[in-house]
Amino acid sequence: MSPQPIKSLNTALISVDLVAFQLSENNRLQVLAHQLRENERPQLPAGRIEPECDHCLEDTAKRQLIRLTSEPATYFEQVITIGDNRRDSRGWSLTVVYYVLLRPGTVQSLKQDATWIDIVNGQPETTLAYDHNQLVMEALDRLKNKIQYSALPVYLLPEEFTLSDIQNVFSVILDKAPPMRSIRNRFLSYGLLRDTGKKRYGSNRPASLYSINEIERNTIFNRTYLSTQ
């Protein structure tokens, strides 16, 4: 019996896609995108794993961020892995999706062809290429869920912020927010924040400015806010 011919192996296209969020100066949640060619839809930062320099998937994700902005991320998290034979016209495609949070005001640090796109009604205001709108919505769902029981709101704020700023993050992302007493009790009693000794002055009484206590930056609370469920 003659030996059976060996079938060639088809390799899937494997990439890491990045959903980077920030709050704009006018209190809009935005996602980072770039446009490779004129008249093409913008797309999320994405790229293949480079074994020579990437020791883990997060290294790949960080490289994609550096391609579009020099602003470092304050938070990284893997969201979902998606793959099928319809995502890419070149063949079977699989992507590991990360979402990252950045401090506001990163316009000056953007690289060429990079831009921030507003999130409107739960998806990018401008339709993205491929299935990238779906990836943004997957990441946004994770963010909406996790800010209710973790310290994530502070990672979308400047290095110094007030408790009202934390409440505003909830309002922007969830369209509702816990009462100030709940925010004060949670973020201060857990030792998550460090009082800088500075004040912000405005029309109301001066507000204390806080920064993140690096020791407690990964705090997970034992319940969600009842007012945001």
Segments of the chain assigned to CATH 3.90.79.10? 13-146
pLDDT of amino acid 93? 81
Q: Lowest-confidence range among 57-61, 179-183, 215-219? A: 215-219
d(CA 161, CA 23): 13
Q: How big is the CA angle at 77 (ends 71 and 81), to the nearest 5 degrees?
A: 120
Q: What is the mean pLDDT of residues 13-21?
A: 93
Q: Is the pLDDT of residue 194 over 80?
A: yes
d(CA 36, CA 154): 32
Residue 200: beta bridge partners? 207
In percent, the amount of the chain with pLDDT more than 70 equals: 90
Give the tens place of pLDDT for each residue, 32-71: 999 888 788 999 999 999 989 999 999 999 999 999 999 9
Find the largest Cα–Cα distance for the chain: 91
Fold of 152-228: Arc Repressor Mutant, subunit A (1.10.10)
d(CA 207, CA 200): 5
Q: What is the mean pLDDT of residues 80-93?
A: 80
d(CA 120, CA 172): 11
Task: Identify whether the C-beta of residue 85 lies closer than 8 Å to the C-beta of residue 92.
Answer: yes
Query: Which carries the bigger pLDDT value, residue 8 or residue 200?
Result: 200
DSSP for 56-82 reads: SHHHHHHHHHHHHBSSPPSEEEEEEEE
| Cα dihedral value 76, 218, 24, 141, nearest 10 | 70
Tokens, residue 204: 């109301």
pLDDT of amino acid 221? 78
13-146: CATH, from 3.30.70.100, 2.40.50.140, 3.90.79.10, 3.40.50.720: 3.90.79.10
Total length of the chain: 229
Query: Which carries the bigger pLDDT value, residue 88 or residue 136?
Result: 136
Average pLDDT, the chain: 88
Round the CA-based radius of gyration of the chain to a whole number and report it. 20
- Given pLDDT bands bounded at 50, 70 and 90, which one contains residue 100? very high
Q: Is the pLDDT of residue 96 over 90?
A: yes
- Given pLDDT bands bounded at 50, 70 and 90, which one contains residue 107? confident
Q: Is the pLDDT of residue 7 over 60?
A: no
Q: E strands within the chain?
A: 13-23, 29-34, 46-47, 75-88, 91-101, 114-120, 123-124, 193-200, 207-212
pLDDT of amino acid 11? 72
Count of Cβ atoms closer than 10 Å to residue 215 Cβ: 10
Strand 13-23 versus strand 91-101 pairing type: parallel
Segments of the chain assigned to CATH 1.10.10.10? 152-228
Q: Is the pLDDT of residue 128 over 80?
A: yes
Q: Taking phi first (over 0 means left), then psi (-120 to 50 degrees means alpha), and beta for anything else, what does residue 113 get?
A: left
Which pTM was predicted? Answer: 0.88
Q: E strands within 102-217?
A: 114-120, 123-124, 193-200, 207-212
